[in-house]
Amino acid sequence: MADKMSGTGRAGHNRPALAFHVPEPKFRPGDAVDFSDLEISEPGAQPRPDEGCAPIDTAPLANDLIRVLGDDNAAHGPWDPKLDPDTLRRMLRTMALTRAFDERMYRGQRQGKTSFYMKCTGEEATSVAAAMALAGDDMVFPSYRQQGILIARGYPLVEMINQIYSNRGDKLKGRQLPIMYSSRPHSFFTISGNLATQTPQAVGWAMASAMRGDSRIAATWVGEGSTAEGDFHAACLFATVYNAPVILNVINNQWAISSFSGFAGGERATFAARGVGYGIASLRVDGNDALAVYAATQWAADRARSNAGPTLIEHFTYRAEGHSTSDDPSQYRSAHERSEWPLGDPIMRLKNHLIHLGEWDEGRQEALDLECAEQVKAATKDAEKNGVLGHGMHHPFHTMFEDVFEELPWHLEEQAAQAIRERKIKWPQA
């Protein structure tokens, strides 16, 4: 028997053969798409428990889908945050600006102005509406698809583009991959390329805030694929153990590069449901419904601020574009998914809501889109004065050795001298 694979090594067993399961998405390239089996709940039908409720009371909401905006473009139910029209217009504008920014930067990458870019098309609500429901000095620990937060917080577009171009204006001295922003004045934590590492850090920051009797809370964003990392589980554990004032946002955009959410366990349980097991209040929201995202974030922020503890929010959304400029989604998923996505587009839905309220119209939308495009274009021009990637207008060589430590140690000083010497030989005219 030794040379034969067998379950127990015992001969003659007659138990059924076990089958190995490898998750498979429902649709592959060329497939017709049918999302009718997705359980999309009725807008307004979800109860809104008190912010101070026991975590277990949120269990039904972790498996439901909190929705406010209906197909009739009206806001429904107890989760309607009842925002005034100005706030709604500001939200719409920020989301539209984020999309315009993505469009232009994507083209910039294609034109060779930078190495890489990542869009958040279809996910604008999950960052913009969430950021608007937080206080401006609440600390955010984002992943790489939350450019909307910076835009919502008024970070200058020029600075974002300088960073993307890694030019001499880049506040991060050209060290980070494009889109990995950092801005302490905007309470925006430096982005890491190592997935999910920001989640326990956000919890630690929130713990520190609580220890010091501060009033600021923390929020973090992580992709559903990245929740598979141990860091995320450590984050949930620390958040619950210390009742940390933190919001853990899971952006379930269905895809982690080419791997669908099933590879992070999404076939078996919702991502929100994981929080319940830890004793964390957990909500699952329609991530393409800006009002639902706002309301859920506001609920979680109120909860954190009143020392009632952490909240995990799963934002159910769809990654409408490729993973990044290095990705071609037509190689692994059906092109129809985007158009068939049953939760629509967050910007369109908010726009239609405002129109429904009589506070907006198509003409104003057109003007807004144009204005956003112009604003980004102007910022791009300004940033280009500082150079684009690879065109020599970068930070001086010596900066490469700075900030490794607070003070430059002898070995880095020696290596800096070497880099500068090499530069004179390689580029004598520079």
Ligand X SMILES: Cc1ncc(C[n+]2csc(CCOP(=O)(O)OP(=O)(O)O)c2C)c(N)n1
CA distance 387 to 170: 10
Please report how close the Cβ of residue 278 comes to other proteins at its closest, in angstroms: 11
Select the binding partner of residue 225 from other proteins, ligand X, none (C-beta < 5 to 8 A, by kind): ligand X
Q: Which tokens go with 221?
A: 């964003």
Which position among 80, 231, 286, 337 is part of the footprint of other proteins (CB under 8 A)? 231
Residues that bind ligand X (CB under 6 A): 145, 193-195, 223-226, 251, 253, 255-257, 319, 323
Q: Give 80 or 123: the residue with its C-beta nearer to ligand X.
A: 123
317 touches 343 (CB < 8 A): yes
Q: Give 216 or 323: the residue with its C-beta nearer to ligand X.
A: 323
**Helix (H), strand (E) at residue 374:** helix 362-384
Grouping H, G, I as helix, E, B as strand and the rest as coil, residue 313 is strand
Q: Give 199 or 270: the residue with its C-beta nearer to other proteins.
A: 199
Q: Can residue 241 be called a binding residue for other proteins (CB under 8 A)?
A: yes
CA distance 265 to 217: 29
Please report how close the Cβ of residue 162 comes to other proteins at its closest, in angstroms: 12
Which position among 18, 22, 32, 211 is part of the footprint of other proteins (CB under 8 A)? 211
Q: Can residue 183 be called a binding residue for other proteins (CB under 8 A)?
A: yes
Q: Can residue 147 be called a binding residue for other proteins (CB under 8 A)?
A: no
Q: Can residue 176 be called a binding residue for other proteins (CB under 8 A)?
A: yes
Select the binding partner of residue 241 from other proteins, ligand X, none (C-beta < 5 to 8 A, by kind): other proteins
Q: Give 98 or 176: the residue with its C-beta nearer to other proteins.
A: 176
Segment near other proteins (CB under 8 A); pick from 28-36, 209-217, 299-307, 377-385: 209-217
**Helix (H), strand (E) at residue 299:** helix 290-305
Q: Can residue 417 be called a binding residue for other proteins (CB under 8 A)?
A: no
Segment near other proteins (CB under 8 A); pick from 28-36, 69-77, 110-118, 194-202: 194-202
Percentages helix, strand, coil for the chain (3-state, rounded to 5) are 45, 10, 50
CA distance 259 to 281: 28
Please report how close the Cβ of residue 134 comes to other proteins at its closest, in angstroms: 16
The closest of 313, 307, 308 to 251, measured between CA atoms, is 313
Q: Which tokens go with 363?
A: 């003409």
Select the binding partner of residue 145 from ligand X, other proteins, none (C-beta < 5 to 8 A, by kind): ligand X
Select the binding partner of residue 28 from other proteins, ligand X, none (C-beta < 5 to 8 A, by kind): none
Q: Which tokens go with 365?
A: 């939308």
DSSP, residue by residue, 4-67? S--SSS-TT--SPPP-------S--TT-----TTS--PPTT-S----TT--GGGGHHHHHS-B-
CA distance 273 to 58: 9
Q: Give the residue nearest to ligand X (CB).
A: 223
The torsion angles phi and psi of 316, rounded to 5 degrees, stand at: -85, 110
Q: Give 163 or 325: the residue with its C-beta nearer to other proteins.
A: 163
Q: Can residue 409 be called a binding residue for other proteins (CB under 8 A)?
A: yes
From residue 299, give the alpha-carbon distance in Å to each of 84, 246, 310, 387: 18, 12, 11, 43
Q: Can residue 138 be called a binding residue for other proteins (CB under 8 A)?
A: no
CA distance 93 to 129: 11
Which position among 237, 257, 373, 393 is part of the footprint of other proteins (CB under 8 A)? 237
Q: Give 410 or 427: the residue with its C-beta nearer to other proteins.
A: 410
Q: Give 223 or 322: the residue with its C-beta nearer to other proteins.
A: 223
Select the binding partner of residue 195 from ligand X, other proteins, none (C-beta < 5 to 8 A, by kind): ligand X
How many residues line the site for other proteins (CB under 8 A)? 44
Q: Give 193 or 392: the residue with its C-beta nearer to ligand X.
A: 193
The closest of 55, 32, 33 to 283, measured between CA atoms, is 55
CA distance 264 to 404: 35
Q: Can residue 189 be called a binding residue for other proteins (CB under 8 A)?
A: yes
Which position among 33, 228, 234, 373 is part of the footprint of other proteins (CB under 8 A)? 234
Segment near other proteins (CB under 8 A); pick from 51-59, 193-201, 331-339, 416-424: 193-201
The closest of 233, 232, 221, 228 to 261, measured between CA atoms, is 228
From residue 156, give the alpha-carbon distance in Å to each of 13, 65, 112, 149, 160: 69, 35, 23, 12, 7
**Binding interface with other proteins (CB under 8 A):** 139, 141, 171-173, 175-176, 180, 182-184, 189-190, 192, 194, 197, 199-209, 211-212, 218, 230-231, 234-235, 237-238, 241, 403-406, 409-411
